[in-house]
Structure 1
Amino acid sequence: MKLQLFPQENAGLELLSRMASQLLRGTAVLAEILGADPEEFDRLTEQLHQIDAETIDLHFALMTQMRTSFINPLPREDLYELSLVLMSAMECLDASAETISLYKLSGVSRRASEQLEVIGRQAELTASAVRRLASLEDLEEYWIEMLRLARRAERSRRIWVAELMREYKPLAYARHRDLADQLSGTSAELRRAATFVGGILVRES
């Protein structure tokens, strides 16, 4: 008899939750990078590359689970779309680390830490929310809080970009702006996940 780590009908949601939790791990590593000396950038960035690779493995595990299971808590298309969004968020987070490593960025604005704080909270909420998709319990609060966090992140990004324009010459501005855009992209993808969950909630309620 094949061993199952969790009930078959909830396996897809568990895998999605683990993908969101990977973003929490990645956020912690990126926070280390922001506080590290430049000679540590490559080593820490490699750690984030590994977390990204594990996230891709979870995505393919979800695809396998959907193909082999007759029972899924949601339509396969919904599970697949959410998985793609979470994978894209991790890709943006990984690119943030690579940007710092490639350019050897130092003296990064505290706005980056503000962005990471929001991303970490978004990932935490998403990991919890996807586990509840089978029952659709308390998802309205998740949806609303994620939108609030995304607005906070976007406002912080606008302030960050304005500060960069005042303080840096064009080449340095472009490098720091690249980092700001990648972090903003991570938050935006997590907001997209919440919007998608909101659509499921409206459709399935």
Structure 2
Amino acid sequence: MKLRLFPQEPAGLVLLAQMAGVIVAATGTLSEILGAPASEHQRLAEELHEHESKSLDLHFALLTHMRTSFVNPLPREDMYTLSRHLNEAMEKLDAAGDLVALYKLDRLPKRAADQLEIISRQAELTVDAMRKLEDLDELEDYWIEILRLAKRAERSHRIWVAEMLKDMKSTQYARHRDIANQLVEVTKDMRKVATQVGSIIVKES
């Protein structure tokens, strides 16, 4: 670990880890929506909105912390970028749940659950990674694993779209495609977080 000339304030890293933790919780709620009858969708969608609101609160708390703290463990622009990507991932998860409720979809294909499993794994790894940002030597494997999961998600998305085109009528296809697109975009946002971590590793090496 590099010698630190000034004491570091880890509160920003705690906030980033909490934001990733909100995504873990939100994937659980969205999984419930996928398995619930349409009559339960609105209640669960409201729970997702609460996760999104918490993520935004944490994002603003991080901005306030960076403005008021003397020394941060990472450059402010890096911490802001990580926070922004995490918040955008949460926004898209929230949108996916909203669409399920608005379209009153009783059932989604197994591909949706597969994508949520990938997102949940990405988020769990990111919680741990955000806590370790003061020791970058431990994060190279994280960077690589998130990229691997993102590629898996993109391939699953392509197969899902192809299956929908084959099996669904146009209106049904359009609705399911909206949700599929939101989910794959979440995996891309998590990839952006890992790519930013990779950039930090390169700059600090």
TM-score, L = length of structure 1: 0.95
Instruction: Give the letter aligned to residue 17 of structure 1.
Output: A
- What does 1:55-134 align with in structure 2 at a 5 Å threshold? 55-134=55-134
Cα pair 2:35 2:107 within 8 Å, conserved: no
Instruction: Give the letter aligned to residue 174 of structure 2.
Output: A
CA offset digits 1:33-54 (Å, max 9, x no partner): 0000000000000000001000
Q: Distance in 2 between matches of 1:56 and 1:134?
A: 24
Structure 1 unaligned blocks of 5 or more: 1-6
Other-structure match for 1:33: 33
Q: Distance in 1 between matches of 2:186 and 2:153?
A: 10
3-state secondary structure, aligned to 1:137: helix
Over 3 Å counting, the alpha-carbon distance change for 1:8 and 1:44 in structure 2 is farther
Coordinate RMSD, CA, aligned: 1.0
CA offset digits 1:130-187 (Å, max 9, x no partner): 1111121311100110011001111111110000001111111000000000000101
Other-structure match for 2:16: 16
User: 1:105 deviation in Å?
Assistant: 1.2
User: 1:8 deviation in Å?
Assistant: 6.3
Instruction: Give the letter aligned to residue 95 of structure 2.
Output: A
Q: Distance in 1 between matches of 2:188 and 2:64?
A: 27
Cα pair 2:12 2:72 within 8 Å, conserved: yes
CA offset digits 1:78-118 (Å, max 9, x no partner): 10111000000000100000010000112200000000000
Q: Distance in 2 between matches of 1:142 and 1:127?
A: 11
How many residue pairs were aligned? Answer: 199
Other-structure match for 2:4: none
Instruction: Give the letter aligned to residue 127 of structure 1.
Output: V
3-state secondary structure, aligned to 1:106: coil
Q: Distance in 2 between matches of 1:162 and 1:138?
A: 38
Q: Distance in 1 between matches of 2:8 and 2:69?
A: 7
3-state secondary structure, aligned to 1:100: helix
Cα pair 1:52 1:94 within 8 Å, conserved: yes
User: 1:63 deviation in Å?
Assistant: 0.7
Cα pair 2:45 2:97 within 8 Å, conserved: yes
- Are 1:139 and 2:121 counterparts? no
Q: Distance in 1 between matches of 2:65 and 2:80?
A: 11
Cα pair 1:38 1:106 within 8 Å, conserved: yes
Q: Distance in 1 between matches of 2:15 and 2:131?
A: 9
Cα pair 2:93 2:182 within 8 Å, conserved: yes
